[in-house]
Structures are given as C-alpha cells and as structure tokens.
Structure 1
Amino acid sequence: MMLLAATSLAVLAQPAQAREQWTKAEANRWGSAQPWQVGSNYTPATAINQLEMWQADSFDPLTIDKELGWAERLHMTTMRVFLHNMLWEQDAAGFKQRINAFLTIAAKHHIKPVFVLFDSCWDPDPKLGPQRPPIPGVHNSGWVQSPGATRLADPSQYPKLEAYVKDIVGSFAKDDRILAWDVWNEPNNPGDGLYPETPGKTKLVAGLLDQVFTWAEQQDPTQPLTSGVWIGDHWDQATTLDPVERTQLSRSDIMTFHDYSWPETFVKRARQMLSFGRPVICTEFMARGAGSTFDGSLPIGKKLGIGMINWGFVDGRTQTRLPWDSWKKPYVYEEPTVWFHEVLRADGTPYRKAETDLIKRLATAPKGVVPPAPLP
C-alpha cells in the first residue's frame, strides 16, 4: 500500500501538459508509416482473463513467446491486449515489469500490441488472486470488467484510476514497441443481463471516459489514443450518437470500431468510419456463427486500408471457440458445429487452414492490394 500511495502521489504531481487530439494530418502521417495491421485480440491459452494473464503467479512468458511465434508465422503485425487497473493497484512496479517483458517478446516476433486500459464487458466484480476455473461449455466465462462496478460507482476511487492511466501510459509513452492505446473497450456495453450491472452505469462511464482521454493525453504519448464504437450503424450521423459515442468519435486520434456482422454491414460501417478522414482499425470482428468471417471481412479491410483485429487467437481457458448463446445452453457434451472465435487450436494448428492461408496472403500483399483467392 505504501508503494501504491507513493506512486499515485508521484504521478498526480506531474505537470499536466496534455497534448491535443492529433489533427487529421498528424493521424494520417502516423498511418502512412504503418504496415497494414492484422492480428487478434490476445489472451494466452493458459489465462481465463486479463488478471490471470498478468498477475505475477500466473504470468506465462513461455506460452506467450510460443503463441506470438505462431502469430509471426502468419505475418500478423499486432495483438490487442487488455490490461487492468487492479493489477496496477496490486503491484505497480511489477505490473510494468511484466508489460515490458511482454513487449520484449512481442518485438522479437515483430508484433506491436494495442493495449486496452478499461473494459465494460462481462463480470463487473473483478477480484485479484487465483481466478475461478472456466465454466464448462461457456464462452468467456471468467472475463472481468475494469474498473469494475465498485470503483465505477465511487468517485472517491477516481484518483486511483487517474494515477493508473497516467503511470501506465506515461511509463510507455515513447515506446515504439506499442502500436496504440485503446482507452476503453465498449464503454457503453450494458452487459446483456448476464451479470448484475451498476445502476446508472452508462452515465457514469460517459462522465469518466472523457477524463480518461485527458489523463492519457497529459502523458504526451507518441502512440495514438482511441476507443472503438461497436453498436448501431449510423456513426457518421451526430444526431444518433449517445454521449459515450460522441466522446469516442470526437477524441480518438485514430478511429476504431467493432463489427460481428455480415460483409454487407461491415462495408457500411467501415465507410462511415473512413468518412472521419483518419486511419481506421476494426479492433474486433470474426464470429463465424454470426456471419462475420475471415473470408467475408478480411479482404474488404485490406482493400479499404482498414486494420483488422479478430477476436481470439489460440483456443484456451477463455473458451471463446464457443458461441455467445452458450451462456443460455452450455456446450458441455458436444462441440458447436462451427467454432465461433479463435484462429488456432491449442497445439498451434489452424482451425481452418484456408483462413490462415488467407491471413498470410493478405498480410504479405502491398497496401490496398487484394490478391485473388486460389481455388479450393
């Protein structure tokens, strides 16, 4: 606790010299210097959630090195990786050491991660320490929200959140091993009734999200800041946006969005995001059973110059090969007919070789060039 208090005071005492949101010209200069981004949302197969991934007792650099090696062979360039404020509260120095270790492994494999600071999805009551085992047959049964319901509902906790953002972003603000900071994942996600939610959650998040952007900007990062829109399909029409979406779209240096729909919807949403005149990355896609596939969406992203990060890389403790409906009917005695997420099986072999061949073919083609698909 003494270390946390000292770190918090040191971070909050730093002069607040926030850089402004990047201009479109600055954002596009950054974008033109990047390869086409392709990768996955990443949790090692040995971790059920972001806490288990990063805590000292369960941090698994050997598995991370092995799995990012598989990603390198697919010519992936990025991974989207979730952090958590409670990890910083628990052991700020150790957490940053493990982030640095992860970045060293990722750089070895020519991968630049997108780090996510906060997340409004799944369990609103995160707890440090050993995580519960996966619920048999259930998709993402152990994932936890950040900052969690208790801290979100208590403004007296916000100085800790501020210190977390400033220390993590500030410590790596000039680190060219990082691609970008996603400051909040699906901030206006209500939770779909699977867990009890914080009363007034969306209003609380709307008030906090703008502050999170400011705290991150105050560290003058050389990497872009963003938060991705995910629901609805009129993001280019200001009158239809809720307060969270307005903040996401008005404060992001680069534009990000999620899409788990058929290709026709993906194209529509992609063009709306491109209308803002900034680089665009789709930071979540690919849910085979919902109509979002590598075959359908990845070539469109390549053609439009949109970075593409699918959900899930290696089948493991998150169990996201199982569909969303497994929360209502667990797949305990039989596997789904089609895997929902994930690129690789636990042993590193492709779930579907045609998909990994497509990823490699598009990743190695020049920007904007979509090579023809070979016959099966």
Structure 2
Amino acid sequence: MHLKKLALIFSFACLLLQQGIAQKKTKERGVWTAKQANAWYKKQPWLVGPNFLPSTAINQLEMWQEDTFDTVSIDKELGLAESIGMNTARVFLHDQLHQQDSIGLYLRINKFLEIAQRHKIKPLLVFFDSCWDPFPKAGTQREPKPFVHNSGWVQSPGQVALKDSSSYPRLEAYIKGVIRKFATDKRILGWDVWNEPDNMTGPSYEKIELPNKVDFVLPLLRKTFIWARSVNPSQPLTSGIWAGNWSSDQTLKPIEKLQVEQSDIISFHNYDKPEQFEMKINQLQRYNKPLLCTEYMARPNGSTFEGFLPLAKKHNVAMFNWGFVSGKSQTIYPWDSWTKTYTSEPPLWFHDIFHTDGTPYKQEETSFISTITKGATKGKK
C-alpha cells in the first residue's frame, strides 16, 4: 500500500511539473463568447455518457475517500461505458474531500483520469450540488436504506457551510485548488460548478432544508464562477438549468439568468417526454452556444435513450444520462420511493443501464446505444 501511494505521488508530481511548464500566466479570462464556445465544441465528438458513480459507492464521499476509492470497480464500469460507445461521464466531487485530504484528492482525481483516458472517456467534473441530504459528513458513510432512491447522496456544500460565510474561504480554496491542478489537463472535458443549485430536495429532506436556501446559494454561486474563472481553466465552465420556463430571458428566474450568463457552454436537465425535450433544445438554441443535457433518462417518465438520443444527435446536443451500474445508490427505484414503500425491484427500472455483474438491464437498449454512438469516440479534427 505504501509503495503504491509513493508511485501515485511520483506520477502526480510529474504531471504537475508538465502542466506547470505548459501553463503560462495569463490575464483572468472572461466568459467564453459564442464563437469561442463553438470553436471548442467543434473539436469534440458527439458526447454521450452517464452520470457516473461506481456501484460500490453510495455517494461522492464514498467514491473518492482513500479507504473506499475502488479503482477496480471504476475500471470495470468505465469499461462497460466504453463498450457501448460512450465517451464522457459526469462525475461529482465534494468540498469535504478537499478539506479532509486535498493532496490525496488530487492524487485520486489524477488516477481516475488515467483510468478514464484508457477507456477513451473525458469526464465533466461537478463541484457543488444542492440535492438530497443537507448534512454531509466525511468519513465512513451510512449503508443504503433498502429500496430507496439515492438514500445516501449528500449536498455540497452542506447546510452548515452554506449558512456560515466564514467557511467560504475554505470553499474558495477547494474550487481554486482543484481547477489550478488540472487547468490545462486535456483529459478533462469541463467543470460543472453547481448541480441544480436551487433544488429544495422535495419530500426527502424538506423538513430540515433551509426555507430560504436560494438566498444563500445565489450569491455563493456567483462567487463560485468568479473563483473558478480566476485560475484560467482551459476547459469550459457551466451550471445547468433544470426546472422552470426557459422560453425567453424574461421568464428565467434570477438564478437561471446567472447560470446562463456565467456559463461558457449551456447545460440543462430534462426528464420529460421527447417532445418536451426537443422544445427545451429549441428554446436554448437562442444563445448560439453548445448545449449539454447533463441529466435525463427516467424510463417511467418517458425519458428514454430511444426517445432522446436521436433528437440529441439531430441537434448536436451532448447527453449525460442519470445512473449507470445498479448499486448502492439504488437509482433503479423512482424518486417517489421516499414517500411510497417498495419491497422489491420495481417493474421498470427508473435509472441505470447495467446489473452489478455487468449484464445489461435491457439488451435491446444497450444495443441501441452502441449503434447510435458508433464512431462518436473518434472525435473531430
């Protein structure tokens, strides 16, 4: 174990040296123009991949902490993604990981990137998240609550840090530290600075959620974009809009306006039927920037691969479905499993594509994904 860690440290030191030589001091960059964003996007293949959490982790902390950083499962499961033509993955980090062990976090991110690169997958990394448990705690994570969707997923930053402005320098160090280490790393697709920032958690945690949460999130989201941009990442920044009326700039909520204005590329979520999905694409095309659908695919809702991917390919929208290999996140169960009792596997999986042993949930579904993504990993010149 000791020799393994020394090898990781040496490998990472070499990486940082290479990046330090390559990276020049430049003036802090602004938000990408449409021209800059589209020039970047033209160099990418059609991007298709999952929101990735290894089946052995219940949340972001368990995925990344040293004792539970499961490179065997990560390698195996990213291999499954590669096998069906996927070439990207959206992956969540957590601020408490940086507070707990920043150097270790950098080492493990680098190791993850090495594995992803072997499988021709370029990840989109997420910093903050307003969904599910508002009281995260680093260390050993709880066991899943049987038959409940995302029973152990945690917010970042948690409610305590969100309310306490004295914790913001630590959050700033997290954002700047991670991006600075990987600002010129071509293995990273981009940075998603905050997932569903105004999500109020619904029935799962509404009794303990901050009723005025958005009052804290909105100014911190603004700061987060500033912190991220201040270290001049070569990769794009984004934060996805997810609920509301996007038909015009006048109908956007203040937090949505901030997300759109500060994003180098536009990202959004949609779990509706194909017609609504295409309507949202048409509405967001007015910004003339690349579009990334960073969450979709809930089979009972009518959000499926067969319904969405052909439309996405037609409009050149990057696609990141929620769920991949069924495991401790238990996202085969629907959102209503927080209020409705399930005692066995649902008749139709909500999310996820593969069983834990690597066999497809629906062979016709994975065959469809393989067919429609054929050639996508080759990229563009």
* TM-score normalized with structure 1 length: 0.91
Q: Is the 8 A contact 1:16 1:218 kept in 2?
A: no
Q: Is the 8 A contact 1:153 1:198 kept in 2?
A: no
1:73 is aligned to: 83
Aligned residues: 351
Q: Distance in 1 between matches of 2:232 and 2:31?
A: 10
* Aligned residue among 308, 318, 321 for 2:332: 321
2:7 is aligned to: none
- Aligned residue identity for 1:121: C
Is residue 2:257 matched to residue 1:246?
A: yes
Q: Distance in 1 between matches of 2:37 and 2:347?
A: 42
Q: Is the 8 A contact 2:203 2:339 kept in 1?
A: no
Is residue 2:109 matched to residue 1:99?
A: yes
2:233 is aligned to: 221
- Superposition pairs for residues 257-276 of structure 1, below 5 Å? 257-276=268-287
2:181 is aligned to: 171
Q: SS of 2:67's equivalent? A: coil
- Superposition pairs for residues 236-315 of structure 1, below 5 Å? 236-315=247-326
| TM-superposed deviation, 1:142 | 0.2
1:6-35 superposed Cα distances (whole Å, 9 cap, x missing partner): xxxxxxxxx994210011111000000000
Q: Is the 8 A contact 1:82 1:116 kept in 2?
A: yes
Point out the structure with the larger helix share.
Answer: 2
* Aligned residue among 361, 372, 375 for 1:351: 361
Q: Is the 8 A contact 2:248 2:283 kept in 1?
A: no
Q: Distance in 1 between matches of 2:355 and 2:284?
A: 33
1:253-304 superposed Cα distances (whole Å, 9 cap, x missing partner): 0010000000110000111122210011100000001111111111110111
* Aligned residue among 184, 188, 210 for 1:198: 210
Q: SS of 1:140's equivalent? A: coil
Segments of 4+ moved more than 4 angstroms = none
2:64 is aligned to: 54
Q: Distance in 1 between matches of 2:141 and 2:77?
A: 22
Q: Unpaired runs of 5+ in structure 2?
A: 1-24
- Aligned residue identity for 2:88: T
1:207 is aligned to: 219
Q: SS of 2:287's equivalent? A: coil
- Aligned residue identity for 1:184: W
Q: Distance in 1 between matches of 2:285 and 2:153?
A: 31
Q: Distance in 1 between matches of 2:172 and 2:258?
A: 18
Q: Unpaired runs of 5+ in structure 1?
A: 1-14, 368-376
1:139-183 superposed Cα distances (whole Å, 9 cap, x missing partner): 000000000000000111101001100000111010000001000
Q: Is the 8 A contact 1:18 1:214 kept in 2?
A: no
Q: Is the 8 A contact 2:172 2:227 kept in 1?
A: yes
Q: Distance in 2 between matches of 1:275 and 1:172?
A: 31
Q: Distance in 2 between matches of 1:347 and 1:366?
A: 26
| TM-superposed deviation, 1:243 | 1.6
* TM-score normalized with structure 2 length: 0.90
% same residue:
53
Is residue 2:118 matched to residue 1:115?
A: no
1:235 is aligned to: 246
Q: Distance in 2 between matches of 1:213 and 1:115?
A: 14
| TM-superposed deviation, 1:366 | 6.9
Sort the Cα spacing of 1:95 and 1:109 in 2 relative to 1 into closer, same or farther, 3 A.
same
